[in-house]
Amino acid sequence: MFKRIKLVLQREYISRVKKRSFIVMTFLTPILVAFFYGIIFYIIYSQQNTQRNQEVCVFDSSGFFANKLKESEHVKFTYKEEAYSASYNFIEQGFDACLVLHLQDTSSKDYTADIFSKESLSLVDQSNLEHNIADVLYENQLNNLNINRKQLEDARVNVTLKAKKWSQGEVKESSAGAATGLGFAASILIYFFIFIYGSQVMRGVMEEKTNRIVEVIISSVKPFELMMGKILGIALVALTQMALWVILSGVAMGFVTSMIGSQMHLNGAAQQLMEQSQQGGGQFKILQLLSSLNLSLMGFSFLFYFIFGYLFYASLFAAVGSAVDSETELQQFTLPISLPLVFSFILTQSLLTSNPNGNLLFWISMIPFSSPVAMMARIPFLESNNYWQIALSMGILVLSFIGTVWLAARIYRTGILMYGKKASWKELWKWLFYKG
By three-state DSSP, how is residue 199 classified? helix
pLDDT score recorded for residue 146? 83
- Structural domain includes residue 167: no
Do 191 and 258 lie in a common domain? yes
Instruction: With beta carbons less than 8 A apart as the criterion, state whether 4 and 225 touch.
Output: yes
Q: Where is mean pLDDT largest: 69-73, 95-99, 404-408?
A: 95-99
Residue 157 lies in a domain: no
Stretch 320-345: mean pLDDT: 77
Question: Residue 409 pLDDT > 90, yes or no?
Answer: no
Residues 22 and 121 both lie in one domain = no
CATH number of the domain at 62, please: 3.40.190.10
What's the whole-number mean pLDDT along residues 233-249? Answer: 85
For residue 49, is it within any domain? no
Check whether residue 190 and residue 273 sit in a common domain: yes
Please state whether the predicted TM-score (pTM) of the whole model is above 0.75: no
Examine the pLDDT at 218 and tell me if it is beyond 70.
no
283 and 257 assigned to the same domain: yes
Residues 72 and 212 in one domain: no
Q: Rounded mean pLDDT of 413-424?
A: 67
Same-domain check for residues 326 and 266: yes
| Angstrom distance (rounded) from CA 194 to CA 182 | 19
Query: Residues 303, 323: one domain?
Result: yes
Task: Write out the residue range of the structural domain in which residue 266 sits.
Answer: 2-43+176-431
159 within a domain of the structure (yes/no): no
pLDDT of 178 above 80: no
Domain check: are 208 and 289 in the same one? Answer: yes
Instruction: For residue 162, tell me if it sits in a domain.
Output: no
The DSSP element (H or E) to which 117 belongs, if any, is strand 113-117
Q: What is the pLDDT of residue 270?
A: 46
Q: Are 225 and 353 found together in one domain?
A: yes
Rounded Cα distance, 430 and 427, in Å? 5
Residues 269 and 146 placed together within one structural domain of the fold = no
Amino acid letter, 194: I
Read off the pLDDT of residues 28-61 as tens digits, 9 standing for 90 and up.
888 888 888 778 777 766 665 556 678 888 888 7
Mean model confidence pLDDT for the chain? 77
Which helix (H) or strand (E) segment is 332 a member of?
helix 327-352
Query: Looking at the 3D structure of the chain, how many domains does it have?
Result: 2
